Amino acid sequence: MVIELDKVAYSYGGGELFSDLSLTMAPGSFHFLTGPSGAGKTTLLKLCYGELTATAGQARIFGQDSRTLSRDQVAMVRRRIGVVHQDCQFLDHLSVAENVALPLAVSGRASEAGQNLSDLLAWVGLTGQAAQRPPELSGGERQRAALARAVIMSPDVIIADEPTGNIDWEMSQRLLRLLVELNKMGKTVFVATHDLNLIRAAKSQVSARILRLKDRRLQVAGVDL
Amino acid sequence: MSLQLRHSLSLMTGDKQADRSVPPTGFTAWLTLFTAAAMAFLAVFALALSTATDRLADRWAAELARTSTLRISAPEDQMAAQTAAAIRLLETTPGVAEARPLTDEEQRTLLEPWFGPDLPVETLPIPRLIEIIEEGEGYDPTGLRARLQAEVPGAVLDDHTRWREPLVEAANRLRLLGWVSIALIAASTGAMITLAAQAALSANAQVIRVMRLVGATDEYIASAFVRRFTIRAFNGAFVGVVLGGIGILFLPDTEVAGGFLTGLGFQGGEWIWLLLVPPLAAMVAFLATWAAALRNLREQS
Ligand SMILES: Nc1ncnc2c1ncn2[C@@H]1O[C@H](COP(=O)(O)OP(=O)(O)OP(=O)(O)O)[C@@H](O)[C@H]1O
Ligand SMILES: [Mg+2]
pLDDT digits (tens, 9 = 90+) for A131-177: 999 999 988 889 889 999 999 998 999 999 998 887 888 888 888 98
Q: Which residue has the higher pLDDT, B18 or B189?
A: B189
Q: What is the rounded distance in angstroms from the CA atom of residue B65 to the CA atom of residue B141? A: 12
Nearest ligand for residue A34 CA: 1
Asked if B20 contacts B222 with a C-beta cutoff of 8 angstroms, the reply is no
Residue whose CA is at the smallest distance from ligand 1 atom 10 = A12
Taking only the tens place, the pLDDT of each residue in B225-274 is 999 899 999 999 999 999 999 988 887 765 544 455 546 777 777 788 88
Quote the ligand 1 centre to B300 CA distance (angstroms). 20
ipTM value: 0.89
- Select from A51, A90, A110 the Cβ nearest to the Cβ of B210: A90
Report pLDDT for B260: 53
Amino acid at B23: P
Amino acid at A207: S
Asked if B121 contacts B107 with a C-beta cutoff of 8 angstroms, the reply is yes
* Mean of per-residue pLDDT scores for chain A: 90
Percent above pLDDT 70 for chain A: 98
| End-to-end CA, chain B | 31
Report whether pLDDT(B166) > 60.
yes
- Indicate yes or no: CB of B213 within 8 angstroms of CB of A78: yes
- Indicate yes or no: CB of A106 within 8 angstroms of CB of B209: no
Residue-wise burial string across B19-55, b where 16 or more C-beta atoms lie within 10 A, e elsewhere? ebbbeebeebbebbbbbbbbbbbbbbbbbbbbbbbbb
- Select from A51, A89, A107 the Cβ nearest to the Cβ of B210: A89
- Select from A71, A103, A110 the Cβ nearest to the Cβ of B214: A103
Kindly list the protein residues whose Cβ atom lies closer than 6 A to any atom of ligand 1: A 12, 17, 35, 37-43, 86
Asked if B297 contacts B249 with a C-beta cutoff of 8 angstroms, the reply is no
- Ligand 2 (ion): residues with CB under 5 Å are A 41-42, 86
